Structure formats: structure tokens, C-alpha cells
Structure 1
Amino acid sequence: MTRIAAVHGALAPYRFAQAEITDMVARACLPEGADRQVLDRLHRNAGVRARHMTLPLERYETLHGFGVANDLFITTATDLGARVIRDALRTAGLTAADVDLLVFTSVTGVAVPSVDARVAGRLGLRPDVRRVPLFGLGCAGGAAGLARVHDFLLGRPGQVAVLLSVELCSLTFQRGDASTANLVATGLFGDGATAVVACGTERAGACTGPTVVDARSLLYPDAGGVLGWDIGDSGFKVVLDPGIPQVLRHHLADEVRAFLDGHGLKPQDVTAWVCHPGGPRILDAVAEALDLHTEELAFSWRHLAEVGNLSSSSVLHVLRDTLAERPPPPGTPGLLLAVGPGLACELVLLSW
């Protein structure tokens, strides 16, 4: 089995209260003199108190053009990514030379050479390190990346893999766009990164983190247009359909039960729910579908309030907090889950 040796997260350097961001969005997105009641309500209901962003707030009002924003993404993602990997390897008691696989996931910028290649050079990873850059998985990327790391280590139990997620969501904000989807996104998403170090069975050694038991990927039928990007001259324009929670209510419970049943488990056996904090309506839908109490998603709700939705990085931040603050009893199961474009759901079964 795959053993998680360390999880480290970091946030972008500038932190702002939600009300400050709302004022900036009103100036940048609404027509002059427009009524901002809808904007205020959407941001107020996002469940977010503050967020971290890549740039000083005033820069976003003049950040025009996809090329400029994407150049900032490449520079910042490389810096932040190198930092979290270095910290995670140190915690795991490993060095850059120990890394056999580097998986990178992001949906908020593009780079060729990819960010993982740039980070590998900066950290001094071996020239023969395997790299797997993932794009397009959105908020599900952290869970899917962990699952792909597990797939790799099952066949190479003596090796070490690193999963890196960097999401700089603020660089995708669309100025001059007063659509409901854009206003919701500008009230929900923040910037951050996470690195997970995982070891195969033969390298697990003294690692005390949970093991990855199994993973499952799910694509929901006829839901491909409810979440994603429309990519144009101005960059990434969010597609965010209000029907996403209903899709989860319809599908999630049966899928989770079937996955757990394959391992002789039921939802009530799970001692840790590591859920992507996609937003209040997403968390409510997950809780309703799986009959979970508010406390069982406490880390997800707290993460949403303190830093917003970090896309693929968020579920890994919730995993970090679970490990650090309230690890379940040894030998008990946990379930990590996240939803992304497709519409897709990624499930990862853990054992503590």
C-alpha cells in the first residue's frame, strides 16, 4: 500500500478580508453606477471570511490580458511549488534525490516547460525523475493526483512520489464580467499550494501517516457542461452551473456506498471525511447525500471560511489539517473526496 509521509500547504502572500475583495470586484466587474446588491449577497453567502491572493488588491483592477496573468502564474507557481515540496520532503526525512515521480496538478495557468519541470530543476531532482503534469481536473485534481500517485507506487513499492498542487485562482478573475458565475467565483476562490510526499510499501519505514487503500474515479452522465472554463482572449472564464449540488444529491450516495461496500465498509464506519470545500451549497449537498453531521465536515467548513476554495489544493489542505489536529484511531477508514469538471468525482479510501 501507499503510505503518506508528509503533507505541506502554503498560501499566497497577500491576505484580504472578504469585504475588501468585494469592493475591488465591484470596481473591476460592475458597470459604473450599477447596483451591487447581488454582488454583495453572493460574496456574503460564500461562507468565506478572508482569502490569500497572489497580488496586492489594486493590481487586479489593471491586470489585463491572459498573457500577463499567465506569466505571473508561471513565476509564482514555481516559487510556491518549490517551497512546499522542500518543506514536505524535510518533514518526511527525504531529499530531492529520493524522488522518483513528481505529479503536478493545476487548472489556473499553463506552462511549457510545465511547472513540475521548472520545480525539478530548482530543487535538484534527479534527471531521471518521472513527471506527470495534469491539467483540466479542476477541484478534483488533488484527489485524482493522489490516486495516480497510488497507482504508480503499487507497481513500484520501493519508490517515492510527490504530488504538487498549485492553484492561483485570483489570476483567472475576469474584469468587466458581471455574470453570476464570475461574481460567485470572485467571492469563493483563493490562492495556495500543497505538496504530498508518499512512499511505496518498501520505503514506508517509520512513516506514521495514513495508507492509501484504493481509489475510484467517476464521471457523471450528461453533466459535462456544469463546471469548467470557457477559454478565450481574456483567459479562463468560469463555467459554474447552479445545478451542481443537485447532481451530487442524485449520484454521490450510491457511488460512495458502492465504493465502500467493495471493501466491506459502510459510510458509518468512516472516521474521517476529507472533503473538498467547494462552497456552502456543495458541502451541504455532500452532507445531505451522505447523512453527515456538521462536525464531520468541520475542517472543510473552517478551511472555506479562512482561505476560500483553493481548487485542487483545498482537499489536500483539509487532509493536512486532519493529520495534524485530529487524526482518527489507528486502523480506521477515512474517505477523501473531491468534485471537478466532467462532472467528475474522485474518491480515495484511506486507512489511518
Structure 2
Amino acid sequence: MTRVLAVSSVFPPHLYPQSRITEALAGFLPPGADAALLRRVHASVRVDSRHLALPLERYGPATDFGTTNALFVRAALDLGAEAVARVLDAAALAARDVDLVLSTTVTGLATPSLEARLVTRSGLRADVRRMPLFGLGCAAGAAGLALLHEQLTGRPGRAALLLSTELCSLTLQPSDTSMANLVAGGLFGDGAGALLAVGAGHPLHESGAGPVVVATRSRLYPGTEHLLGWDIGHWGFRMVLDREVPELVRLHVVEEIESFLAEHDLKPADVGTWICHPGGPKILDVLSEALGLPDGAFAPSRRSLAEVGNLSSASVLHILGSVQAAGPPAPGTAGLMLAFGPGFASELVLLRW
């Protein structure tokens, strides 16, 4: 089975309390807009602080898409290089020994893709296999681990790297007063994460303290395409986020989790560690209630949301890293990584320590 050797998370140096970001965005609203509504929305998402790709004073309503995307590429490469260096160091593996690198983002465009631009800079081999992903959104961290697992199952002697780089603040439309944009402006933060994994035949497989991947499941829910994603135009990326998403999680994703676990003779109560994407406090509340979980089950997700905001695909890597840093769960502990994204889709990864 695929073994996770190490996880890293890195952030831009610009860290701000939520209250300061709220007031800055209130100042960008067009005349007549309801600043009190923005403040209520920001207060409701349970985010205390966030890292931003740029100093707060450099954000504003006049930046065009081309300029913003160029800023994304520059900042994403710097963060990505640092995340890769940290995860390789933590795993005691040389960059030249990585056989596959999968990179994901949904907050900017780059061709050549980010991992291609990092090959020389990070010391990766010129013949490293590359898999750039775009469009999976917040689900891509879990989906990326699932894809690494599939690749390493067929090539058990190899090592693979997952890189997630999300600069959500650069997608914000400051003058957009839609509820979706107000929520996004209060919820999302910037950061990058990297995960290094090896197949069952790799020399480092048995020495790792991270979990192994037991099974994965990916699911699309037909007829929900309009509920979550981007509206892309000359303005850049505009958030599409329907208020039905938490109820969709209750109606469909909970059943998906239960059936997936049942295939492995498990119930939600048997899962000792939950690595749940913090899509927002309502989603965490719905999952906790519908699955009958104790109050502390999603504590790592709630803590990540409060400290750095929703990092899109990088969130599950940040949460997994925090779980490992706190002291790995006891051997034999079952874990479930889960995330949601455009489609509407869910990604589940069953782990065991």
C-alpha cells in the first residue's frame, strides 16, 4: 500500500487578522453596498486570520486578469519551491529520487505548468513524470493523493510528490457584492502544501511514520454542476457558490461516506482521525451532526480554518500535517480524508496508521 512519508505546508509572509481584511474589503465596495452585511458574513465563517499572497494595501478593484495571473505565477513558484524543499527534507529523500510529481491549483493559470517550471529549480530529474491538474478545486488535495496511490500501486518501487498551490486572494473580485463573493472574501486564504509518498516496494516504505492509503473513492453528483465553481471571463475568476451546498453534503455525501466505510467493515464511529476539508463551518457542522460524530472529531479542520482559512486543495495537506506534527495516531487507527469540489464532487481516501 502507498505510504505517506511526509507533508509540508508553507504560507506567504503577509499574515493578517480577519478583522483587518474585513475592513479593507469593506473599503472596496461600490457606493450604496451593504458593508454591514459583509462584516456579518466575515464574522460568521469562524476564520481568525489568513495569509495573503500580497501585502493588503496592494489589493484593489482595478487589477486586470493578466496582471493578477502574472502575480499568481511568481508567488506560486516561490511557495511551491519552498513546499517541495521542506517535504523532501522531512522525508530524507533527494529530489532526483522522485519519479512522479502531480501539481494542482485552481487559482491561476500557467503553461508551462507550475511543476514544469519547478523541475530545474527544485532539482527534480528532467525525466520525472508530470501530472498537472486544474479544475478539481478544493477536492484536488484528496483526489491528488488518490491518483498518487493508483500510480504507485502499479509502480510500487517509486516515489511520488503531490504539490498544491492555491492563492485564493488573487481571484477575489473586490467590487462584487454577490453573496458568493462576500463569503469567499471572508473564507479563503493563501498557501501551498506538498506530500511525498512511496509505493509498497520502495526502500523507505517501512520506515515512514505516516499513514498508508487503504482505498479511495471519487464521486460526481449529476445535475449539480451549477452549484460550485468559477465564472471565468475578462475579469478573471468569479466565485460560484450556491447556498444549497451544505444540504447537498447532508443528502448525498454523508451516504457516500457511510457506504465507502461499510465496504471496509467500518462505521463513522470507527474512524479515529478525520482529515476533512474545511469548506466552511456549516459543512463541518452538517457532517458532524449527520454522521453522529463527537464534538472533537473535526477539531483539526476547525483549527486549520480558524488559523489560515480555507486553502482550497491545500487544506487537507495542512490538516494532515498538523495531525502528524501533534504525534501520529496510534498504530492501526483508521483515518478518512475527504474533500469536496466543483462537479459537485466528493473525494474520499481511507487511511490507516
Hey, what does 1:278 align to over in structure 2?
279
* 1:150 match: secondary structure: helix
Q: Is the 8 A contact 1:2 1:198 kept in 2?
A: yes
CA distance in 1, matches of 2:335, 2:107: 29
Deviation of 1:225 after TM superposition, in Å, equals 0.8
Hey, what does 1:132 align to over in structure 2?
131
CA distance in 1, matches of 2:269, 2:281: 23
The percentage of counterpart residues that share the same residue type is 55
Deviation of 1:63 after TM superposition, in Å, equals 5.2
Counterpart amino acid of 2:274?
Answer: W
CA distance in 2, matches of 1:326, 1:280: 25
Deviation of 1:33 after TM superposition, in Å, equals 5.1
Counterpart amino acid of 2:119?
Answer: A
Equivalences, count: 351
Hey, what does 2:310 align to over in structure 1?
309
Q: Is the 8 A contact 1:7 1:197 kept in 2?
A: yes
Hey, what does 1:237 align to over in structure 2?
238
CA distance in 1, matches of 2:114, 2:120: 10
CA distance in 1, matches of 2:178, 2:341: 21
Counterpart amino acid of 1:190?
Answer: G
* 1:201 match: secondary structure: coil
Counterpart amino acid of 1:11?
Answer: F
* 1:236 match: secondary structure: strand
Matched, 1:156 2:155: yes
Q: Is the 8 A contact 2:166 2:192 kept in 1?
A: yes
Counterpart amino acid of 1:12?
Answer: P
Q: Deviations over 1:135-189 (max 9, x none)?
A: 0011101000000000000000000000000000000010321111111100000
Give structure 1 regions of 4+ aligned residues with deviation exceeding 4 angstroms. Answer: none
Q: Is the 8 A contact 2:269 2:293 kept in 1?
A: no
Deviation of 1:34 after TM superposition, in Å, equals 3.6
Hey, what does 2:296 align to over in structure 1?
295
Counterpart amino acid of 1:137?
Answer: L
Within-5 A mapping of 1:249-264: 249-264=250-265
RMSD: 1.0
Hey, what does 2:11 align to over in structure 1?
11
In structure 1, stretches of 5+ residues that fail to align are none
Counterpart amino acid of 1:191?
Answer: D
Within-5 A mapping of 1:1-352: 1-28=1-28, 30-32=29-31, 34-61=33-60, 64-203=63-202, 204-352=205-353
Compute the TM-score of the two structures, normalised by the length of structure 1. Answer: 0.98
Deviation of 1:326 after TM superposition, in Å, equals 4.3
Deviation of 1:289 after TM superposition, in Å, equals 2.2
Q: Is the 8 A contact 1:227 1:342 kept in 2?
A: yes
Counterpart amino acid of 1:115?
Answer: L
* 2:59 match: secondary structure: helix
* 1:216 match: secondary structure: strand
Q: Is the 8 A contact 1:31 1:176 kept in 2?
A: yes
CA distance in 2, matches of 1:269, 1:262: 13
Deviation of 1:32 after TM superposition, in Å, equals 2.7
Deviation of 1:265 after TM superposition, in Å, equals 1.4
Counterpart amino acid of 1:177?
Answer: D
